[in-house]
């Protein structure tokens, strides 16, 4: 007899970018393990993720991550074969060579263990990540979901985990990408988000006035390439791309970082509130790597409190890429009977 959904256990595999992660989640919400292997040291000297190197690192890390995730969940290989009900894998969108490693591993486990395979949209998983550890009998949905990561900046209307409608997305750079590029302009290191946040801490966020690109009053799309260029010209002088950084004091660099962070936060908060108005939904959830940013977290907290909107911020450990969010959404797809054949493909686009 089939198990009820609350007893089902899903193995989640995530390899869409530069984190190799595997998790074991029971009932969709009980995270029994969530192992994450980062690759910061592999990419740091290039100032950004090198896709070919990321794929190779996934190959090197994935077996050990699966073994560790099973061990931390208290499962031997034999027990895992018995207890795990499905294999969920991030199969789109992302770096296709990276996705392929996770998809191949997931298909292999699915085939060998005779368990269903579930392809999960990585950005949808971020959109649902605020609910990972919340009680299954208190669903958050419907909600407006803001997903802010290195590859994506999107607003969704999450009617429930099986029905996620896109409301708007970036037309150029993602918010995290802008953080990473500004870190590179200021020569702060990689990955940029956390370092820009730390650099901004002693800075004055009103010292520089960077553009808040809104793309029209009713638009839920984003654009962050203009602000990146504005930071570049502030550092080097109008029209110049080099030579200015050495002339800036540490305080000026902190002020630029803080003013940049404030401009990005303002846009993200304003668009999220516009999505709330347009949909009439009274709950906001936020996920993705940039959701770890404290200025953004407090900006959204204030804006939602002023409007009486319920806000669920994804716990910090589930903001950046992780297998738990893949297993979590995979669980809801499994419960709805949405499994995939072994011909499932890795796709760069959603």
What residues line the site for ligand KG4 (CB under 6 A)?
17, 149-151, 176-177, 179-180, 191-194, 197, 288-290, 292-293, 320-321
Q: For residue 229, what are its two tokens? A: 């260029």
Question: Of ligand KG4, Zn ion, none, which one sits near residue 324, judging by CB under 5 to 8 A according to partner kind?
Answer: none
Cis peptide before 142 (omega within 30 of 0): yes
d(CA 317, CA 322): 8
> Which one-letter DSSP state was computed for residue 114?
T
Helix (H) or strand (E) holding 27: none
Q: Which residue has the tokens 């950004």?
A: 48
Question: Of ligand KG4, Zn ion, none, which one sits near residue 194, judging by CB under 5 to 8 A according to partner kind?
Answer: ligand KG4
- State in angstroms the smallest separation of the CB of 304 from ligand KG4: 19
Q: What angle do CA 124, 130, 134 make, to 5 degrees?
A: 125
Residue 314 touches Zn ion, criterion: CB under 5 A:
no
Cβ of 142: how many Cβ atoms within 10 Å? 16
Q: Of 208 and 318, which has the nearer Cβ to ligand KG4? A: 318
Which residues on adjacent β-strands are paired with residue 35?
22
Q: Of 75 and 256, which has the nearer Cβ to ligand KG4? A: 256
Closest CA to 268 of 289, 296, 292, 288: 296
Alpha-carbon Rg for the chain in angstroms: 20
Q: Of 57 and 186, which has the nearer Cβ to Zn ion? A: 57
Q: Of 28 and 289, which has the nearer Cβ to ligand KG4? A: 289
- State in angstroms the smallest separation of the CB of 42 from Zn ion: 17
Question: Of Zn ion, ligand KG4, none, which one sits near residue 173, judging by CB under 5 to 8 A according to partner kind?
Answer: none
What is the end-to-end Cα distance of the chain in Å, rounded? Answer: 35
- State in angstroms the smallest separation of the CB of 15 from Zn ion: 11
Q: Of 279 and 320, which has the nearer Cβ to ligand KG4? A: 320
- State in angstroms the smallest separation of the CB of 98 from ligand KG4: 11
Cβ of 222: how many Cβ atoms within 10 Å? 26
Question: Of ligand KG4, Zn ion, none, which one sits near residue 192, judging by CB under 5 to 8 A according to partner kind?
Answer: ligand KG4
Residues with Cβ within 8 Å of 21's Cβ and at least 6 positions away in sequence, in order, are 12, 13, 14, 15, 34, 35, 36, 37, 65, 321, 322, 323, 324, 326
d(CA 340, CA 107): 10
* Interface region with Zn ion, contact rule CB under 5 A, candidates 232-240, 302-310, 321-329, 335-343: 321-329
Q: For residue 28, what are its two tokens? A: 């969709």
d(CA 106, CA 197): 36
- State in angstroms the smallest separation of the CB of 314 from ligand KG4: 10
Residue 321 touches Zn ion, criterion: CB under 5 A:
yes
- State in angstroms the smallest separation of the CB of 30 from Zn ion: 22
Letters for 134-173 (x = contact with Zn ion by CB under 5 A, - = none) are ---------------x------------------------
Question: Of ligand KG4, Zn ion, none, which one sits near residue 244, judging by CB under 5 to 8 A according to partner kind?
Answer: none
Question: Of Zn ion, ligand KG4, none, which one sits near residue 131, judging by CB under 5 to 8 A according to partner kind?
Answer: none
Cβ of 258: how many Cβ atoms within 10 Å? 23
Q: Of 266 and 321, which has the nearer Cβ to Zn ion? A: 321
Q: Of 150 and 168, which has the nearer Cβ to Zn ion? A: 150
Cis peptide before 191 (omega within 30 of 0): yes
- State in angstroms the smallest separation of the CB of 156 from ligand KG4: 15
- State in angstroms the smallest separation of the CB of 90 from ligand KG4: 9
Residues in the interface with Zn ion (CB under 5 A) total 2
The answer to whether residues 160 and 56 touch, using CB atoms and an 8 Å cutoff, is: no
- State in angstroms the smallest separation of the CB of 251 from Zn ion: 33
C-beta nearest to Zn ion: residue? 149
Binding site for Zn ion (CB under 5 A): 149, 321
């Amino acid at each position: 007899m089939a198990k009820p959904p609350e007893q089902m256990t899903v193995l989640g595999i995530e390899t869409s970018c530069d984190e190799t992660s595997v998790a074991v989640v029971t009932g969709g919400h009980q995270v029994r393990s969530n192992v994450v292997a980062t690759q910061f040291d592999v990419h740091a000297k290039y100032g950004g993720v090198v896709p070919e190197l990321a794929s190779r690192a996934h190959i090197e890390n994935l077996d050990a991550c699966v073994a560790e995730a099973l061990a931390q969940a208290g499962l031997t290989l034999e027990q895992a074969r018995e207890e795990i009900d499905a294999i969920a894998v991030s199969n789109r969108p992302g770096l296709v060579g990276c996705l392929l490693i996770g998809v191949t591993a997931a298909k292999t486990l699915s085939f060998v263990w005779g368990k269903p395979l579930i392809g999960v949209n990585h950005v949808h998983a971020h959109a649902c990540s605020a609910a990972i550890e919340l009680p299954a009998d208190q669903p958050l949905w419907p909600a407006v979901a803001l997903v802010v990561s290195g590859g994506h900046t999107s607003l969704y209307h999450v009617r429930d985990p099986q029905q996620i409608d896109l409301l708007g997305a970036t037309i150029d750079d993602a918010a995290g990408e802008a953080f990473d590029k500004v870190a590179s302009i200021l020569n702060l290191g990689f990955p940029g988000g956390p370092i820009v946040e730390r650099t901004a801490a002693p800075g004055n966020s009103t010292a520089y006035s960077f553009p808040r690109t809104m793309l029209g009053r009713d638009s839920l799309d984003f654009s962050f390439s203009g602000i990146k260029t504005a930071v570049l010209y502030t550092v080097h002088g109008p029209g110049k791309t080099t030579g200015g950084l050495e002339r800036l004091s540490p305080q000026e660099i902190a002020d630029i970082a803080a003013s940049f962070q404030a401009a990005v936060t303002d846009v993200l908060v304003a668009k999220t509130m516009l999505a709330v108005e347009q949909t009439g939904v009274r709950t906001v959830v936020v996920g993705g790597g940039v959701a770890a940013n404290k200025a953004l977290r407090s900006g959204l907290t204030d804006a939602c409190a002023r409007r009486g909107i319920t806000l669920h911020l994804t716990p910090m450990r589930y903001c950046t890429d992780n297998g738990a969010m893949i297993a979590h959404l995979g669980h809801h797809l499994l419960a709805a009977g949405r499994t995939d054949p072994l011909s499932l493909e890795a796709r760069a686009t959603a």
